[in-house]
Every structure is written in C-alpha cells, then in structure tokens.
Amino acid sequence: MSQEVKRVMVPWVEKYRPKNIDEVVYQEEAVNVLKQCLKGDDFPNLLFYGPPGTGKTSTILALAREMFQDQFSSRVLELNASDERGIAVIREKVKRFAQQTVSRSENGNKYPPFKIIVLDEADSMTQSAQACLRRIMEKETKSTRFCIICNYISRIIDPIVSRCSKFRFKPLQQDLVMEKLATICNSENISLENDVVLTELIKVSGGDLRKAITFLQTAYRLKGDEILTINDVREVTGYIPENWIDMFVEACQKQSYENVEDVLNSMVAEGFSGAQLLNQLHDWVLGENCLLTDEQISELIEALALADYRLLEGADEFLQTFNVASVFIQLLGKK
Ligand SMILES: Nc1ncnc2c1ncn2[C@@H]1O[C@H](COP(=O)(O)OP(=O)(O)OP(=O)(O)O)[C@@H](O)[C@H]1O
Ligand SMILES: [Mg+2]
C-alpha cells in the first residue's frame, strides 16, 4: 500500500531526473567540458541556456551532487522563478549565502573550496536585479560560483554573460525522448495501445522532455492500470479534436462572423484553450489541407504569432482568437 502511494505521489520528472552527470543524454559538449572542470579547482561561473526540458537543471544538480556529496545542501543555494527575485532578494539571500566562508575539508572529507548559487530561470529576473547580481559575482569570486540558467540568453545582461562559461543545451532528438518515455513506461508498468501513443506525446510536447514526462504521469493518473490510448494523451494535453478545427475553418470559409462566434463560444464552453487553438491552427496552416497561397499563409501566421504573444501578455482569449478568424476570413475573401 505505502509503495503504491509513493509511486503516485512522486513527480516522475524528479524520480527520473539523471542521478549523475553521465546519465545526462545528448549534451555531450557541455557534459565533457563540465567533467574537465570537476577535475580542477578552477571552476568557472556557468551559464546554461537552451529550450525547456533539455537537461539544464538536471545537469547542474547532478554536477553539484558529485562535487559536494553529503555537503550538497549546505554548499548549494537554488533559486528559481517561484522565489521572489527582485533586487531585495538578490541582495539579502544571495549576498548572505555568498559571504559565508567554506573550508576545503569537512569531517575529514575534501570538497572544492567554494559554494554554488544556482539561479534557475534567470531570464525572468529584472534588469536591475541582474545588475545587482553582477556586482555580487565580482565581489564573491573567491568563495562562490554562479550557475545561471535560462531559456533565452538574450535576456541576460552582457556583463553577466561575459563573466560565465556558456553552454548551449540542444533540443533533444526525438528518438532519445522516445527512449526515455519508453523506459518510464516500463518501470511504471504502463501498457500502451501502440507506439503511436508515445509519438503523439512527443508531438504535443514539442520536444520538451519534462512536459512529455508530466503528461505521461497525468495520463497514468487518469487511467491507472488500464491501457493508455492516443485519446487519453490528447485528453490530458488539452488537444482540441480535429473536428473542432474543421468547424472553425469551415466557419471562416463561409465568411460568417456569426458562425465563427458560435464555434468559438462552444469551444470556450468545452474548456479548450485559445493558445491551443492557435497552435493547432498553425499546424493546419502548414499541413496539406490548407489551400491558401504562400502570401496568405505568411499573413495568417503573422496574425497567429501576434495573438500568441498577446495571450502570453494576458489578453482575452476569445477576442484574440476572433481576431485571427477575422484575418482568416479577409484572406479567404481576397482569393
Ligand atoms: N539531456 C537529458 N538527459 C536525461 N534526461 C533529461 C535530459 N533533459 C531532460 N531530461 C529529463 O527531463 C526532465 C526535465 O529536465 P530539466 O529539468 O533538467 O530540464 P531544463 O532544461 O532545466 O528545463 P527548463 O528550461 O524548462 O527548466 C528531467 O526529469 C529529466 O528526466
Ligand atoms: Mg530547469
């Protein structure tokens, strides 16, 4: 019973996180250089960047665990976007931790003579907090190394970038993602209807292994020990069934704003998300059912990109999707 409870409670993303740096796949350049760094004392500040779910957080955690072993918790300070990270926090927490002195040995064991501060998701830090961080990095070089992690390196201020060794994490290849998911299915005794289930999972996760693992666990929670089907995957990922996309496109083709409004209202009532609709429309536009000219496609994609950006900024889903529909209607009218 307790075994059973545990199996469901632990997030698989944590459970299947690489335990050591050798388990990190596909990021050989970064891993090899970091292994070299492990051998010497001249450990640099690090900057990891690249798409979500490619192993950045896992790599630094594994590296730090290898370096500090039982002293991990006292030598590593981890801050991520869920922590407040304005100037005040940088000043207080980071500075206080950076200033604690560390010795080379503890209880007779030898450790590197520094601590590590991991700033995960650093691209969401304000510019002024980054400027503050830069000064701390300068002052505390003797006792502290920083590992800055982000998706977009362009959002990190230059003086920080230039103080770090940079490592780009590449998007994981599909077969590696597939392999990892298959291993998890195996260990958790999940039976799949067929291989297409995993392919679909990878498709909807867009190469983000973390997302794929989380979806898999959600689907498993939904179905328990029953066989997992492609529809289960679609259900947990919020995938909008094709016939809804067809209805939306038909309404636009009919040049009917009323029809579009009806379809969108029904979609909202069903609980489908506007962002997901934009994603699937994007696939539709690039798929073989789309009869638009190249010029029309580029205009529609621009409208989709703009709506996507506005949604991220908090705009209204209905209005944004309706706006995309009206661009679509106009383009079809011009034919
Ligand atoms: N290169 C990899 N090798 C092995 N496992 C990986 C790799 N990349 C991702 N994973 C798996 O995906 C999960 C998420 O990885 P991780 O948290 O390291 O991603 P991340 O790059 O930090 O993503 P984000 O930018 O969203 O924070 C981990 O549990 C791990 O199992
Ligand atoms: Mg991360």
Q: Is 210 in the pocket of ligand 1 (CB under 6 A)?
A: yes
CA atoms within 13 A on the CB side of 4: 4
Of 331, 261, 271, which is closest to residue 301 (Cα–Cα)?
331
Q: Is 16 in the pocket of ligand 1 (CB under 6 A)?
A: yes
How many domains does the chain fold into?
A: 3
pLDDT digits (tens, 9 = 90+) for 135-146: 989 988 888 999
Residue 104 · residue 110 · CB < 8 Å: yes
- What does the block give as tokens for 87? 């100037």
Q: How many angstroms does the Cα of residue 95 sit away from the middle of ligand 1?
A: 28
Q: Which two tokens stand for residue 52?
A: 């979500």
Minimum-distance ligand 1 atom for the alpha carbon of 54: 8
Q: Are 217 and 293 in a shared domain?
A: no
**For the segment 96-114, what is each residue's pLDDT rounded down to a tens digit?**
888 887 777 777 788 888 9
As a whole number of angstroms, the distance between CA 115 and CA 101 comes to 9
In this predicted structure, what is the pLDDT of residue 81? 67
What is the best residue among 208, 209, 217 to mutate for testing ligand 1's pocket, by most ligand atoms within 8 Å of CB? Answer: 209
Residue 254 reports pLDDT greater than 70: yes
Q: How confident is the model at residue 3 (pLDDT cuts 50, 70, 90)?
A: low
33 CA to middle of ligand 1, Å?
A: 19
Q: Tell whether 75 and 156 lie within a shared domain.
A: yes
CB distance 26 to ligand 1 below 6 Å:
yes
Q: Is the CB of 209 under 6 A from ligand 1?
A: yes
Q: Torsions phi, psi of 9, nearest 5?
A: -75, -40
Q: Is the pLDDT confidence value at 131 over 80?
A: yes
**CATH code of the domain in which 265 resides:** 1.20.272.10
Atom of ligand 1 nearest to the CA of 209: 12
- pLDDT above 80: residue 82: no
d(CA 276, CA 285): 14
Shared-domain flag, residues 223 and 328: no
Co-location of 140 and 95 in the same domain? yes
Provide the domain limits for residue 77: 2-168
Instruction: Identify the pLDDT of residue 44.
Output: 94
290 in ligand 1 pocket by Cβ < 6 Å?
Answer: no
Q: Is 1 exposed, middle or buried (0-12, 13-18, 19+ CB in 10 A)?
A: exposed
* Three-class secondary structure of residue 225 per DSSP: coil
Question: In terms of domains, do 90 and 178 share one?
Answer: no
Q: Do 290 and 216 share a structural domain? A: no
Instruction: For the chain, give the percent of residues with pLDDT over 90.
Output: 70
- Ligand 1 atom at shortest distance from the alpha carbon of 26: 1
Instruction: Assess whether the C-beta atom of 171 lies below 6 angstroms from ligand 1.
Output: no
Task: Give the pair of three-digit tokens for residue 105.
Answer: 């040995």
pLDDT at 1: 45
Q: CATH no. for residue 96?
A: 3.40.50.300
First to last CA, the chain: 64
- 4 pLDDT higher than 90: no
Q: Are residues 163 and 303 in the same domain?
A: no
Query: Any idea which ligand is nearest the CA of 51?
Result: 1
What would the two tokens of residue 3 be? 């075994």
The pLDDT value given to residue 100 = 80
Least confident segment among 34-43, 182-191, 313-322 = 34-43
Q: Are residues 329 and 253 in the same domain?
A: yes
Q: Which of 128, 143, 168 is the last residue of a domain?
A: 168
Q: How far is the CA of 294 from the centre of ligand 1 (A)?
A: 37
**Rounded mean pLDDT of the chain?**
90
Where among 191, 218, 237 does a domain terminate? Answer: 237
Output the CA 200–ligand 1 centroid distance in Å. Answer: 19
**Do 183 and 270 reside in the same domain of the chain?**
no
Mean pLDDT across 66-76? 92
CA of 192 to the centre of ligand 2 (A): 28
Residue 63: is its pLDDT beyond 90?
yes
Q: Please tell me whether residues 254 and 108 are part of one structural domain.
A: no
Atom of ligand 1 nearest to the CA of 151: 25
- Amino acid found at 122: A
Instruction: Decide if 160 contacts 148 (C-beta within 8 A).
Output: yes
pLDDT of residue 276: 93
**Ligand 1 site-directed mutation target among 15, 17, 22, 173, most atoms within 8 Å of CB:** 17
143 three-state secondary structure: coil
Same-domain pairing of 30 and 113? yes
Residue 113 is which amino acid?
P
Report whether residue 78 contacts ligand 1, using a CB cutoff of 6 Å: no
Residue type at position 57: T
CA–CA dist 98, 42 (Å, integer): 17
Q: Which of 237, 257, 286 delimits the end of a domain? A: 237
Distance CA 61, CA 15 (A): 13
Residue 214 pLDDT more than 70?
Answer: yes
72 ligand 1 Cβ < 6 A: no
| Residues 191 and 303 grouped into a single domain | no
Question: 52 in helix, strand or coil?
Answer: coil
